[in-house]
Structure 1
Amino acid sequence: MKETKDNTYLKTNEASKIAGVRKEDELENFSYEDEDEIIKSELKKELKSWKPIEEDFSLEYHLNRLTKAELLNIARNLYINKISSLKKEELKNRILEFYEEKVHFLIENIDVERFEFLIDLARKKFCKVRYTNIQINDIGYFRDMAFLFTGILNGEDVIIMPEELQKIVLNKDNKSLRDRMENNGQVIKLFWGMCNYYGVIHIDDFKQLIKKYIDFDLSSMDLKVVLENGAAYYNEFEYDGNIGNDALVDNVDAIFLKQHKRIDLDFYPFKKEELLAAARADFQDKTKAYKRFYSFLINNFDIDVDVAEDLIFSLEADIKNNEKISEAISDFLSNFQLSNVNESSFIGSEVIKFANNIRQWIIKGYTPAELSSSTVVNKKKIGRNDPCPCGSGKKYKKCCGRG
């Protein structure tokens, strides 16, 4: 194999590094000029939120500084209804009217991590931004709910909490609320973990699956708000009120339909600690299959560690998105300069081994290798007039049974 390492090397593709997981339709005509425009656009948008401000902690002062579009966004994020036809001044007044009520509601539906951020800021009233320890995405999340505002004060970037929220946050800090937030956090992380391993998960399936992982009742929890805001904050999974999905899923409907046609197959029974471990922004399931394939790349090709990990990450995303194995192999091989067919076959066979031993979304978190065992399949028969197991409420013959 030493000969392969000497004669084969990885192509460099900075554009795909910048863009993350490669999507051919998005990057087909990608150029550095496009990249510059994207960066400039995002920077321009962000800079609009960092203008000189007065040392004023009133909510009304900061709302007055915003555009109608920004006020509309805040009102929606505060779950204030009947706002689409309001003028700017009316929007501002509606937010002022409902702010305290909605803040109490939202705080009760976040997790401890976000509350700790709010507590810290409430004690300071404002703080100078140190970009090494404050995430701009976190600031944007809270700014979109009018939980904080940003600007330049005495020549320095600062974030300010309005005094109306400061009083609420400091007064609400108690054990009962923190216990509730701990439960919220568990639910978010378990949902996130399931999105990672199953790709797509319907809320009805989630409610059934989570029962074995928690010792508290979900009936008093506003799951929609908890999960919507968890998705917005962590930005690693999505939730539309019915279906959640991993951020890397290309076609939610396609994965969902494939899953629920497998009525013979229950969702893979992960351990609680496995799901919680998967609820992490930098999570990579480094199974035996992963480690074997990683070693194969490092030992046989002249590539560094980071590039090997990126290649595996991208390949795994393609496979989980149910891309044809021939196309996944072709995409993977395009990263290499190969001198003969034998080298292509050599790599392709390892890709197939890897694909057969990773947890795939359309088969509900199982690996193809696991499904080769007949003991995995649920032999329960479902009649055509029985309720469809996908939770749609329709009869099986009119839903997933149509295929």
Structure 2
Amino acid sequence: MGLYEAWKNLSENHESQEAEIEFWKEYLSVERNIYNEILNNKTQVVEGTPAELAEKYSTNAEYFMGFIDGISESLQEDIDLDAIEADKAISLKIDWEKLYYNMCAAEANWLYELEGWNDILAADTRKALLKKYKTSKTVVKENKVGRNDPCPCGSGKKYKKCCGKNA
């Protein structure tokens, strides 16, 4: 079984709801610590084997694989999660702006509010990325044409007698 498959089994298969809550509480704490260390050290490229990196960040290989799974969409280069092995070297080149945006999209305020961001992205940049995310999920309704309104095709007829006739 590959490392990614082991991570998926670990994160998806729980005996009870309480066990699942405890698992995620523990994992999110580990994830926060990894991000905190990366941000504080301004580590834009994380390199090594997953086993070495897990030891460096005081966790196990499966939890570090969960970190890789979470950060995979915020990297400068795509990575094949299924091909990652515990003893095979990897290089994760982080795109800071993508990472911050994706943290906003995941509504992971415990990550995008970490102090380490202050030295990596300017406050204006972080604010703009948060605003970009918030506007991306805003639903804008288009004006609906009423049956007695002029037809938008420009014929001069009422909508109900023109394009709305078969609607």
How high is the TM-score relative to the length of structure 1? 0.22
Please tell me whether Structure 1 or Structure 2 has the larger radius of gyration of its CA atoms.
1
How high is the TM-score relative to the length of structure 2? 0.44
